[in-house]
Amino acid sequence: MSESDVATVTVSVFYGPVINPKDLNTYEILPQALIAVDPNGTIIWTERDVKPGNLQDYIKERLPEVPAPDGYEISVSLIELDDGEFIIPGFVDTHTHAPQMPNIGSGQQYELLDWLEHVTFPMEARFKDIDFAKKIYPEVVRRFINFGTTTCCYYGTLHLEATKVLADVVTSLGQRALVGKCNMNRNSPEYYCEASTEKSLEDTRKLISYIRSLKTGLVSPVLTPRFAISCTGDLLEGIGKIAEQDKTLAIQTHISENAGEIKFTKELFPDCDTYASVYAKYGLLRERTILAHGVHLEESELKMIKELGAGISHCPTSNFNLRSGMAKVGDMLDRGIKVGLGTDVSGGFSPSMLNAIQNASICSKMIALQSAIEPTNLSFSKSNFSGKQLSIATLLYLATLGGASLCCMEDKIGSFAVRKSFDALIVSVRAETENPSIWSATDGDTKNCQGHDIEKRLDAQLERFLFGGDDRNILKVYVQGKCIGGKAYKPKIDLQTVVTSSTN
């Protein structure tokens, strides 16, 4: 074999500003960082501060540490960021409804239960047609990816075959996800209601097996009782038994979103004192349980959720839009409850996690205003977040590492560290992104800044992105080290190919 024919494996080395969430109060700003990613998409080493003049020598020095398969040599793909660009972890959307994307922006006049009846259920029922699912889902997933969502918790419909298509599409497009088929056998229109408890549970088991047979390992099944109102006690009991038999399964559902919903739930389950106790009764409140909304949780429910290890997906856009209320996220955080953010399409009118971040900030500011004039009755001694607006650090954490923790994936994603997966966004706030909401005309060149000045500049750029950014500012989206989306991404397959491959 000639020298030119030597087989190689490629290590990707990213060089430039990195912003890395650490906890609810802090994030690192690393202006000249290196992140090395192996061919499997795992971070193999990082370096906090490498001067440009030392870059090539440093890479050569570290390269021998990278193990190569027998008969292979290591090659390096160096990705250097331009001025006005930085890397952050990919967003984790902990609650959204894939089949509702065609309805986005519709039904603004309704509150939750009427909105479900008049807007949502008619659309979801259309996914009985498998060809409709194949047409819609590739575009849905592509949009979430291009908005920077590297991990997404998807609700499908009640249809087994359509939800298989959703899982296929997510797999084909390379996103990390939890995908679940809704369980709902009562209090739904006759045209959109499962025929029996047995059929609902059978289809759930089939979907779990199907998703686990997919090749990449990026997509996982999630038990999805839609909410207590839509499930009989027998159905919740059956789902609970599936959960008990497999502790690795995630569970996603809704809780305490709307006053009318809570009232109806208590009427349906008179032996349960609270909404949360319904799920607890059937073994559905535990670690790996993702509870969407939690706007009107009672004191006993908050304690129960914390004690059992479940967490909350905060969906502020939807909570505002459907007039559900404002979840007291600060209170939850002070209690040690896990919290992530969710777009909740299409109750939420945007698939962008940036929109969720912005509305989470507004929600916290409104609560802070109310807390200034209303006494709080907190049972704990020290409050760091309750009654206060959420900081940039907290908002970034909720959208990344907080969401990963809620999904029990914090050891794999949500921040940058050795042995974690490289799920990341390359963000640009440069003028050529043509986003009029981000001002960059007088910023100058960060490469001419030194020390604290460049950190302040990057801090400001992060804030501008979080509050003025959109998909134009997300150049590339990486999952497991592979670029799968973003403005600068050039896909190798079109969406029609994805649809075709999902049928084979």
- Does residue 73 form part of some domain? yes
**Which tokens hold the place of 344?**
């909740």
Q: Which domain holds residue 39?
A: 1-88+418-494
Report d(CA 482, CA 169) in Å as an integer.
16
What is the dihedral angle through the alpha carbons of 26, 27, 30, 31, rounded to the nearest 10 degrees? -100
Whole-number pLDDT of residue 380: 40
Q: What are the pLDDT digits (tens) for 62-96?
A: 988 888 888 788 899 999 999 999 999 999 999 99
Q: What are the pLDDT digits (tens) for 360-408?
A: 999 999 999 998 765 554 444 345 899 999 999 999 999 999 999 999 9
Say if residue 249 is in the same domain as residue 106: yes
Say if residue 315 is in the same domain as residue 432: no
Contacts of 215 (CB under 8 A, 6+ apart): 171
Contacts of 23 (CB under 8 A, 6+ apart): 393, 397, 401
Q: Residue 490 — very low, low, confident or very high, per pLDDT cuts 50/70/90?
A: confident
Q: Can you give the length of the chain in residues?
A: 504
Token pair 């250097």 is found at: 80
State the CATH number of the domain containing residue 38: 2.30.40.10
Say if residue 276 is in the same domain as residue 302: yes
Give the total number of structural domains in the chain: 2
| Domain final residue, candidates 406, 436, 463 | 406
| Domain final residue, candidates 371, 406, 441 | 406
Burial of 259 (0-12, 13-18, 19+ CB in 10 A): middle
State the CATH number of the domain containing residue 333: 3.20.20.140
Say if residue 375 is in the same domain as residue 483: no
- Does residue 412 form part of some domain? no
Q: Give the predicted TM-score (pTM) of the model.
A: 0.95
Say if residue 65 is in the same domain as residue 210: no
Q: What is the mean pLDDT of residues 246-254?
A: 98
Whole-number pLDDT of residue 383: 59
Mean pLDDT score of the chain:
93
Residue type, 100: Q
Token pair 């001002």 is found at: 439
Say if residue 200 is in the same domain as residue 319: yes
- Does residue 503 form part of some domain? no
Token pair 């607890």 is found at: 280
Q: What are the pLDDT digits (tens) for 333-366?
A: 999 999 999 999 999 999 999 999 999 999 999 9
- Does residue 501 form part of some domain? no
Q: What are the pLDDT digits (tens) for 435-455?
A: 999 987 556 555 555 567 899
How far is the CA of 110 from the CAs of 258, 318, 347, 356, in angstroms? Answer: 12, 12, 10, 20
Say if residue 280 is in the same domain as residue 309: yes
- Does residue 504 form part of some domain? no
**Which tokens hold the place of 257?**
């979103």
Say if residue 79 is in the same domain as residue 35: yes
